[in-house]
């Protein structure tokens, strides 16, 4: 690619690179998924024995699937705290990626759980801590001549007993128990090479201002430079705006007026929303000493706010019909089997009648977010929890959550941030000032990183400063649910001021209810398996047949739907989140099986979710 080119075929690029980094595309890349050398290092001898020198490793693994998963070709689910990977980078690889003298060769890791060290030809070139977030290593200075193969080595350390590292639903027991699942060690998201100019774009975020009809590209360069940054936005063949700006440091924000958005009778047609998820094409280029770079991207014009007890999208009330997703597959665990599987997951959520998904205890693969953007699916982004409190957990959580928000802030589909869930990692939130201080700090940190979205400080209960009041309630008695949620606004507000269903305060002492929206963000969880159930299979309530499952799901949904804003009701719940999308190992309370097959005809499930089953 000519780095000075203002554009390239964005549609072809999106089709090809959707499986890598959808919002910052170049055409000079090479996917490294496939066979790598592999070894467990249970004795932790590899560093002392210098396994990083490039020697062959005894096994072969299919990257990016974790070694616990069948898809990896390893399938070892026991405790293996240290693993090693090896892959040769050949002259043919460098030619395919378009690398040449005067350019930088980068290797990108989508996610490596939990602590990674990287070597090239025995020389350490990078490291990263944090199992859910991406990092990049510059290989250029250690590359040498291009003829002989270069050996890339990765060491990943993931202590299965370390409950101070953000781990989400990964079990600290050797076998899965209760609501926790098998671990994900090492590489579990794509790895790819990219050849870039000496001066290049390192990070890109988008924000929009609907009242002024503008979009802003927030551009970070890899080094300080006097350069020119150009931003161009289009919709199909229609040019919408182009602005050029000077940058003298490493960061610049370039605001582009979007043509036609100053017409108050016309502007809503260009906005991103469910049912009409308009995405605008964009190109960002930089030129300066050290060459030039161009990336293709996309953005959605939309706003999110809370006001008067309502959740607002583009200043219009929207009621969230959400489903909780664990993002777990039997053959590949936290890694998706393929980009097509991620696309199908997003499609299924919409086909079931949901307009939103809560990604639970996992920073999901950005390829899923790309499809949510494309399909108009609203997303709640959530941090993976630790299970203890210390200065170590504070440091780790803050660092990784910061990286997660920074990675995903440009996705229009993400409408809410959830840094904590059910007081996990801050178990004494109601009584210990230091636990409460962390929850408050994470709320304010998130607002500092991204002031454009609502933040839930601790989803489910024991909420301090928060933009929404949220409740988790796995009651299955339809009359009890009606008494709690099919009530007046005054009764609902009184309810969230007291002790919740889990025996914990919903709002912490000292909080003020300023009319924030109230949502039931976990409920349901009906267990039913269409085939033989595992001995440890469970749910929050249990059905005995397809007919009983249908009845139980409806009995739980209906009082909540009656208590939700809409259908003539002006006040009440602003949304809800059903548990859960799919069966996940022993947790057999999904609407779909673990193989993504509906437990009832999908038309029937959709009618239940939309509340049209009684019509």
The tens digit of pLDDT for each residue in 111-153 reads: 999 999 999 999 999 999 999 999 999 999 998 765 778 999 9
Report the C-alpha gap between 528 and 340 in whole angstroms: 27
Q: Using the predicted structure, report yes or no on whether residue 15 has a pLDDT greater than 60.
A: no
Q: What is the pLDDT of residue 341?
A: 95
Partner residues linked to 6 by β-bridges: none
Q: Which residue has the higher pLDDT, 467 or 566?
A: 467
Report the C-alpha gap between 37 and 153 in whole angstroms: 9
Query: Tokens 């993002």 belong to which residue?
Result: 327
Q: Which residue has the higher pLDDT, 532 or 410?
A: 410
Q: Using the predicted structure, report yes or no on whether residue 500 has a pLDDT greater than 60.
A: yes
Q: What is the pLDDT of residue 1?
A: 33
Q: What is the pLDDT of residue 140?
A: 94
Summarize the confidence of residues 478-499 as an average pLDDT.
96
Q: What is the pLDDT of residue 98?
A: 83
Helix (H, G, I), strand (E, B) or coil at 236: coil
Q: Using the predicted structure, report yes or no on whether residue 423 has a pLDDT greater than 90.
A: yes
Report the C-alpha gap between 497 and 540 in whole angstroms: 25
> How many of the other CB atoms lie within 10 Å of CB of 151?
19
Report the C-alpha gap between 443 and 437 in whole angstroms: 10
CA distances from 179 to 150, 283, 327, 337, 561 (A): 43, 44, 14, 22, 27
From the DSSP assignment, how many helices (H) and strands (E) are in the chain? 10, 33
Give the sheet arrangement for strand 575-579, strand by strand.
414-418, 378-382, 356-359, 320-325, 575-579, 518-524, 469-472
Question: E strands within 525-574?
Answer: 526-527, 541-542
Strands 378-382 vs 356-359: parallel, antiparallel or unpaired: parallel
Strands 115-120 vs 123-129: parallel, antiparallel or unpaired: antiparallel
What is the percent of the chain where pLDDT is above 90? 86
Q: Using the predicted structure, report yes or no on whether residue 194 has a pLDDT greater than 90.
A: yes
Closest CA to 179 of 592, 581, 538, 541: 538
Summarize the confidence of residues 532-550 as an average pLDDT.
87
Summarize the confidence of residues 338-357 as an average pLDDT.
97
Q: What is the pLDDT of residue 145?
A: 66
User: Is the bond preceding 64 in cis, omega lying within 30 degrees of 0?
Assistant: yes
In the structure encoding, which two tokens stand for residue 219, read together? 């551009």
Helix (H, G, I), strand (E, B) or coil at 339: helix
Q: Using the predicted structure, report yes or no on whether residue 16 has a pLDDT greater than 60.
A: no
Q: Which residue has the higher pLDDT, 260 or 530?
A: 260
Map 447-468 to HEC letters.
Answer: HHHCCCCCECCCECCCECCCCC
Q: Which residue has the higher pLDDT, 143 or 442?
A: 442
Residues 119/152, Cβ–Cβ less than 8 Å: yes
Map 242-254 to HEC letters.
Answer: EEEEEECCCEEEE
Report the C-alpha gap between 206 and 214 in whole angstroms: 11
CA distances from 561 to 475, 501, 551 (A): 15, 18, 15
Partner residues linked to 191 by β-bridges: 109
Q: What is the pLDDT of residue 19?
A: 53
Closest CA to 82 of 53, 124, 121, 48: 48
Predicted confidence (pLDDT) per residue in 298-322, tens digit? 999 999 999 999 999 999 999 999 9
Q: What is the pLDDT of residue 173?
A: 93
pLDDT, averaged across the chain: 93
Q: What is the pLDDT of residue 412?
A: 98
Helix (H, G, I), strand (E, B) or coil at 491: helix
What is the percent of the chain where pLDDT is above 70? 96
Report the C-alpha gap between 114 and 156 in whole angstroms: 7
Strands 59-63 vs 280-288: parallel, antiparallel or unpaired: unpaired
Whole-structure pTM value = 0.95
Query: Tokens 């299919």 belong to which residue?
Result: 62
Predicted confidence (pLDDT) per residue in 31-58, tens digit? 999 999 999 999 999 999 999 999 999 9
Q: What is the pLDDT of residue 6?
A: 47
Report the C-alpha gap between 538 and 587 in whole angstroms: 5
């Amino acid at each position: 690619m000519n780095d000075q080119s203002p554009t390239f075929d964005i549609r072809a690029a999106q089709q090809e690179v959707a499986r890598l980094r959808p919002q910052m595309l170049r055409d000079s890349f090479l996917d490294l998924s496939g066979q790598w050398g592999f070894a467990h290092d249970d004795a932790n001898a590899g560093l002392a024995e210098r396994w990083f020198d490039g020697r062959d490793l005894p096994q072969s693994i299919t990257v990016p699937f974790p070694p616990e998963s069948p898809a990896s070709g390893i399938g070892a689910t026991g405790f293996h705290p240290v693993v090693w990977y090896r892959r040769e980078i050949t002259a043919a690889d460098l030619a395919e990626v378009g690398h040449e003298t005067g350019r930088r060769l980068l290797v990108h890791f989508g996610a490596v759980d939990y602590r990674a060290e990287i070597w090239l030809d025995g020389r350490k070139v990078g490291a990263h801590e944090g199992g859910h977030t991406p990092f990049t290593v510059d290989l250029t200075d250690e590359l040498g001549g291009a003829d002989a193969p270069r050996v890339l080595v990765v060491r990943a350390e993931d202590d299965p007993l370390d409950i101070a590292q953000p781990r989400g639903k990964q079990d600290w027991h050797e076998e899965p128990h209760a609501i926790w699942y098998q671990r994900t060690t090492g590489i579990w998201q794509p790895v790819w090479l990219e050849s870039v100019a000496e001066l290049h774009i390192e990070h890109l975020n988008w924000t929009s201002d609907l009242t002024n009809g503008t979009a802003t590209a927030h551009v970070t360069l890899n080094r300080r430079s006097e350069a020119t940054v150009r931003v161009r936005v289009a919709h199909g063949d229609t040019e919408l705006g182009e602005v050029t700006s000077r940058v003298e440091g490493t960061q610049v924000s370039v605001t582009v007026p979007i043509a036609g958005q100053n017409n108050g009778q016309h502007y809503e047609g260009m906005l991103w929303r469910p049912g009409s998820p308009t995405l605008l094409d964009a190109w960002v280029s930089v030129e300066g000493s050290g060459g030039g770079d161009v990336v293709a991207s996309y953005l959605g014009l939309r706003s999110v706010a809370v006001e008067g007890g309502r959740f607002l999208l583009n200043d219009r009330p929207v009621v969230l019909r959400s489903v909780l997703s664990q993002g777990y597959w039997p053959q590949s665990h936290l890694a998706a089997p393929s980009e097509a599987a991620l696309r199908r997951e997003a499609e299924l959520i919409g086909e079931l009648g949901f307009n939103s998904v809560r990604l639970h205890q996992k920073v999901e693969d950005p390829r899923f977010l790309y499809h949510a953007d494309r399909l108009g699916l609203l997303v709640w982004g959530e941090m993976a929890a630790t299970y203890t409190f210390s200065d170590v957990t504070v440091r780790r959580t803050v660092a990784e959550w910061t990286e997660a928000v920074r990675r995903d802030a440009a996705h229009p589909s993400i409408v809410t941030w959830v840094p904590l869930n059910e007081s996990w990692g801050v178990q004494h939130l109601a009584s210990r000032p230091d636990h409460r201080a962390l929850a408050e700090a994470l709320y304010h940190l998130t607002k500092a990183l991204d002031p454009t979205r609502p933040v839930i400080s601790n989803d489910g209960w024991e909420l301090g400063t928060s933009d929404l009041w949220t409740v988790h309630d796995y009651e299955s008695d339809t009359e009890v649910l009606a008494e709690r949620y099919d009530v007046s606004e005054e009764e609902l507000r009184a309810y969230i001021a007291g002790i919740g269903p889990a025996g914990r305060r919903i709002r912490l002492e000292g909080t003020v209810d300023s009319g924030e929206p109230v949502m039931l963000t976990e409920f349901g969880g009906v267990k039913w398996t269409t085939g033989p159930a595992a001995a440890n299979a469970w749910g929050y309530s249990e059905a005995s047949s397809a007919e009983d499952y249908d009845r139980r799901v409806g009995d739980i949904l209906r009082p909540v739907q009656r208590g939700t804003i809409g259908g003539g009701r002006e006040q009440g719940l602003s949304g809800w989140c059903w548990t859960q999308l799919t069966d996940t190992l022993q947790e057999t309370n999904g609407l779909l099986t673990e193989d993504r097959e509906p437990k009832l005809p999908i038309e029937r499930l959709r009618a239940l979710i939309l509340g049209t089953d009684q019509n």
